[in-house]
Structure 1
């Protein structure tokens, strides 16, 4: 362990260790030689089991055993095969006693039941899971194996949900049981409207359960994470939030969520002419899709599962933009009352434990759900909570800064009209990361100056397909190497950063010269770049 003084080892103990290392090396050499010679016999199983009982995490040896077992399955009679399976399962049990969280051992057990055993005893496997979860109820390897067994054995999800409830009630800090619950509930109680992770009555019931947990163990993160899952899983209908034609005639459409527009999917954008779509960066799912088909007048129809969900008229001089964009859908009356109750409970807990970081973080999410457009006093409270979290938990400072940046960008997008002019000014917001840039895809000017944006943030600018003027002055940039191809870009203001050189390859991919303003950067005046106009 770190910080502990190394114990003195006697000459006799050192001699024993050296002998054990020599034995191990000789044994491994013999095993590797046998594998090289494709010797699939009992000796191979015997030699590998000697090592694995002491060191069960050597995946190479488990893989060799798989080769041996597959060979034997094809050559021995059924009765001997049954004994072989029993011996292999016995070996994995011995290895689990030595190391209950061995990936290789649990996987070997799955593999044997799937590929070698002809009549797996899944009831026995469930008993094994119960045993190891009694020893360590948070052994996620065992929980994974339990999911595998229940799937193969066709165990009813309701039975497993009852098991997870039992485990949670015996110990609220059982994170694995909470996680298992989040996988089972959507199967048993699907939301008919597909807006919530589970149907509303069960959703409210889960809130009550998690409320008891967080008040019983307020400093344990397990129940808090589950509550964040309940609050975070809100689904909305697929919609086009903006669409237009770029200066080069390329058409773009932007969705409110990641969408697959390939011909085989149930989501399509039809027009009065045949159009094929390409996602940004070649991703299979994207917010922004482009079409090279060039014609002046279009009428888009968003078709989902054969039904028209949205009709969008479009021409070369008109950009379609939705009136308002919401990241948090408004709650119905019953759900709003429940979320308000949860929020009030958390506020009570914060008064009792003002330094509870989980309560502070959860309160931010609850306030966003209760006030989805970021009005009234919520923004002030939320920003104050972020500041408290940074002071209480400095080890996660970057996470809180990025979460705060995301909240500020969401607030800006939700509280601004996008119809006129098509520009976005997010300067001087102390942003450390960029989020939801697809919502600004229609904007011709985007101002991100006087923020704390680093080089890695540049890759998130890709959705700005309409942007002609981009301002990134007074940020924390030292290079433009990660700057993406923006098809409409004419001027990039990267003045007053720490950029000491500019990579010609960044702007080589542009059809026309881009003016790059680098005033106030430590860049030499004799810098020669062929594919852009430098202003130094």
Structure 2
């Protein structure tokens, strides 16, 4: 029919697109080949600039082309005036590319590079560009990062950026990037001198009120809730890095309040004013950890009951005293504690979030925030309520149930450890901890168990936390019965361990059992009620490795490693 526009079929359209794509691929390969050829031969000219410019305009994310352009800037012999002019043109090019893709890592990086090489960058223009980009997409974190770069280079006062972030938040509470930007600015403007709060106490109160207003405005938006988590992240503090030390003629174990790195330059051992050559190793083979051990050679250290033993770490001298009960030299300090801050204000916030949780019972954020508030106000008083609310979160937010289970485990362990030390006091030697059937899914604060000799963790779910047992360097008797353990590959080597119960787990690998016995100097091993206990010749193979080892394979009257002694 004449006079009618032909409507192409889907097949025809796809064929045309295919031809167009093939044409672009040919052009791209030809351009890349030319650029790489010139680069290899060291030919830096206008053609390589023009060709790479055409290609980045079509696809700004080819970072290799930006690398070539930076190399070309150094390869072409320009006058200073021409060099500056070309850099300004590069800024125009990157701006065009940002219009095509405002979230291109390569383009933002190129813009930083250009400004670093300009003798007099126009920072006002750069701030204006940031404002335009953030007006188009206020969550463009690439632009927020670039703004930090510009602010630092231009020397813009932090209070101006604080006002800028406030304006963005007031415009839209659901601006995660602006909340995050605020968390970077405030600690610089209002630092907490004690290091216990993220920011100074009076400003902390103001920010809590601001973020509460945001969370009540839209309880289902996550942006403000994340910022609030940062605000409520108080730190346990101690004026001492070292928590405890135990030393005998064979070795020394040091437990720290935080993860540290030890070497001969920052840590020395002295006995009667004599420096002892000591090679410390971490309990988990990592460079930074909280428990470090050093083993002495036979007859390597001459110790007497009245010896003066001291450890010098980072310029602080820790004096060890002889412990008759432990038959060892020991040092121990108080557990780090959470200082009370803004308790009255936090209590008011807690009441408000309880009301929000009643209005929206399925809102996980209101419940979780209430838990954190209770822990910051009085973890002992609210302990039962905290655990009950965590159980509720496990039920209503199944996708994150494991996170809540781990959080619950941490709170339970911390509560028990603090209770034990508070009850017996710092001067009393605490030789055991009993944590059976508490639904623990992870270990926590294990550094404070490093001097305990008997540890009962039976009836939990610690199969995925075996690697954390490495801190238990003084443990002689350990029960991991009924923990759903399927593998022992991550079970550490514990030099003091003699009695180990792995009863009623899901162990099936004989090789893992044999390896465990090879690495640990056990005298009793209970592997009853495991599939591996039925393995052929298991007792024979274990006896060949450790003839004195007593192994429990089947139930025997009166035999139970789990029982406390």
TMscore range, shorter length:
0.7 to 0.9
Q: Deviations over 1:496-518 (max 9, x none)?
A: 222221335555444x4564432
Distance change (3 Å), C-alpha of 1:105 and 1:41: same
Counterpart contact for 1:196–1:235, Cα < 8 Å: no
* Residues 37-76 of structure 1: per-residue CA shift (max 9 Å, x gap): 343333222222222222222222222222222323xx22
Partner residue, 2:526: 517
**Quick check: 1:460 aligned with 2:468?**
yes
In the alignment, which residue of structure 1 is the partner of 2:218? 217
Q: Does 1:406 align with 2:410?
A: yes
- Greater radius of gyration (CA): 2
- Partner residue in 1 for 2:493: 485
- Note if contact 2:234-2:376 (Cα within 8 Å) is conserved in structure 1: no
TM-score, structure 1 as length reference: 0.88
Q: TM-score, normalised by structure 2?
A: 0.83
CA offsets, 1:162-221, max 9 Å, x none?
111111111111111111111111211122233222221111121121121111222111
Q: Secondary structure at the match of 1:433?
A: coil
Distance 1:256 1:397 in 2: 29
Is structure 2 residue 443 aligned with structure 1 residue 434? Answer: yes
CA distance in 2, matches of 1:148, 1:306: 37
TM-superposition CA deviations, 1:92-133 (whole Å, max 9, x none): 11221111111111112212222x323222222111111111
Partner of 2:5: none
* Bigger shift: residues 83-92 or 44-53: 44-53
8 Å Cα contact 1:53-1:95 kept in structure 2: yes
Q: Which residue of 1 aligns with 2:358?
A: 351
Aligned pairs, how many?
A: 516
**Match for 2:283 among 261, 280, 305?**
280
The answer (yes or no) to whether the contact 1:238–1:256 under 8 Å persists in 2 is no
- Closer, same or farther in 2 for the Cα pair 1:217/1:20, shift >3 Å? same
Alpha-carbon RMSD across the aligned residues, in angstroms, is 2.8
Output aligned runs, 1:68-79, within 5 Å. Answer: 68-72=72-76, 75-79=77-81
Residue 468 of structure 1, CA deviation:
1.4
Contact 2:162 2:182 in 1 (8 A): yes
Give matches, 1:207-356, under 5 Å: 207-239=208-240, 240-245=242-247, 249-262=250-263, 272-273=272-273, 274=275, 276=278, 277-292=280-295, 294=301, 295-296=303-304, 312-315=320-323, 317-318=327-328, 320=330, 325=335, 329-332=338-341, 335-356=342-363
Q: In the TM superposition, what whole-angstrom CA distance separates every residue of 1:224-250 from its partner, at most 9, and x where no partner exists?
A: 11111111132512434332126x621
- Any conservation in 1 of the 2:245–2:332 contact (CA below 8 Å)? no
Q: Report how far residue 350 of structure 1 moved.
A: 1.1
Q: Cα 1:364–1:521, aligned 2, differ >3 Å: closer, same or farther?
A: same
| Alignment correspondent of 1:101 | 103
Answer with 278-287 or 426-435: which moved more: 278-287
Structure 1 portions without partners, runs of 5+: 1-6
The answer to whether structure 1 residue 15 and structure 2 residue 19 are counterparts is yes
Q: Which residue of 2 aligns with 1:3?
A: none
| 1:498 to 2:506 alignment | yes
The equivalent residue for 1:364 is: 371
Select 2:86's aligned residue among 68, 81, 84.
84
Distance, in Å, in 2 between the alignment partners of 1:344 and 1:268 is 51
Q: Distance in 2 between matches of 1:268 and 1:170?
A: 57
CA deviation after TM superposition for structure 1 residue 362, in Å: 0.9
* CA distance in 2: counterparts of 1:472 and 1:522, whole angstroms: 16
